[in-house]
A and B are shown apart, each in its own frame.
Chain A
């Protein structure tokens, strides 16, 4: 977050035109997430999409086998189930 004076200067200017007492009631969260949200030229907010963490097939297989072993399923059964679902 920029220094306090810069932030205040932005908020009292166009397009916000907030009074100092109105700024006084704002939290950093409100300033950063609402007033300073990244926008397109037309003013619409750019959605900050959260990319789900992707895992490789190898990582998924390791997790699957670890979970299966934890549940007491034999390696053979797990291999067969994995092949049936994903092939190979």
Chain B
């Protein structure tokens, strides 16, 4: 088991190094945006990993409510935390790109706003986990996770309508114009590398959570035996 995880970490690091080389050296510089376009190779894969994490969080929460398995709850906790981290990266790298290209840091466009609301929802999930007491926290968190996941499509729909009704002034650029082959390569390598990084983080956090559970159980056992000081 340990060898597999060490091997996986090494593989991930190697992939990350290769994809970084691809993104920063091999991929050609974009004509109109220049070097700042390269942030795209980190921005989009982070968004993908964040989405993946939130999907895992939802599934794990459903499994927890169904089977009451503490492992599912640990996975839900781990994926929510990692998801928030990657969502934060998306929200930080986005404005860094938008400032030179669009001329503004932020616009209340559908995708930006949805990402922000998504981030808010999962931060509130983490806050609830932190503040819930005793053995109920898993159930409460799982319930909120389902609410959050159901809310996301509604948020997207409503904000898209909100913005198509009042068109925003800045919509230049965008990456929908099709990628050059080298760019696509760099992008796909980064997508793979980031997915591996996400998996590494989730697994590490998951194990930590299980360890925390064990420590807590041991403390409780000790207290029951009257040995706690």
A and B: real partners? no
Task: Give B contacts to A, CB under 8 Å.
Answer: none
